[in-house]
Amino acid sequence: MLGILGGTGPEGRGLALRFALAGEQVLIGSRDASRATSAVESVLEHAPAGSVGGGANAEVAARADVVLVSVPYAAQRGTLAALTAELAGKTVVCLVAPLEFNRGRASAVRVEEGSAALQAQAILPDSTVAAAFQNVSAEDLLVPGKPIDSDVIVCADDADARRLVMDLAEGIEGVRAVNGGGLANARYVEDLTALLLNINRNYKAHSSIRITGI
């Protein structure tokens, strides 16, 4: 069972849809269970019946085996600090790209711990944190049937967690998962999102990444 904290946002709903289409059971989490219900209904318009449920973030964190963090960077610390018990012993996947915007231009925010993913691991010492999906556009994920023309770089210190998340990513049509090594490398993937957003602005497009030569 996959859980998505903050799964009511576009990235969380988009991934919920794609994982449900890949045959996973998904729970969408929210601060407000009724918002989760609305998001579940919208995802189920395109996903198999019964594949998506929802609830408050704490309930989702408790019920899911693998939990994705899909809240804005500014909300990550508070969200995770309140759920350390529910998330203990689980794989937690950080999608967070810490960004700020100035006149429409994105730039990466410096994180004291080194990256959003390392911050998540520091807050959750009893969980295994992986980082992935930071470069995948929600707008593309939300279009059912649109192949995702992107690599997903997966970083984790735990090889089993990295493999698990790589397999999840490759369930999404068009995605190739790339082993990004340890969690310390997640900062480079997070920061790349700022560049992609600025490229999107220049080209009026949804850019993504492909690693070649491997």
Residues that bind ligand NAP (CB under 6 A): 6, 8-12, 30-32, 35, 70-73, 75, 79, 95-97, 134, 136-138
Nearer to ligand NAP, 40 or 160 (CB): 40
Nearer to ligand NAP, 203 or 213 (CB): 203
Q: What SS3 string covers the chain?
A: CEEEECCCCHHHHHHHHHHHHCCCCEEEEECCHHHHHHHHHHHHCCCCCCCEEEEEHHHHHHHCCEEEECCCHHHHHHHHHCCHHHHCCCEEEECCCCEEEECCEEEECCCCCCCHHHHHHHHCCCCEEEECCCCCCHHHHCCCCCCCCEEEEEEECCHHHHHHHHHHHHCCCCEEEEECCCHHHHHHHHHHHHHHHHHHHHHCCCCCCCCCCC
Please state the closest distance from residue 113 (CB atom) to ligand NAP, in A: 15
> Judged by CB, which is closer to ligand NAP: 11, or 191?
11
CB of 136 to ligand NAP, least distance (A): 6
Give the residue with the Cβ less far from ligand NAP, 98 or 162.
98
* Shortest reach from residue 15's CB to ligand NAP, in Å: 9
Shortest distance, position 159 Cβ to ligand NAP, whole Å: 24
Residue 6 or 162 with smaller CB distance to ligand NAP: 6
Closest-approach residue to ligand NAP (CB)? 9
Q: How far is the CB of 65 from ligand NAP (least distance, A)?
A: 20
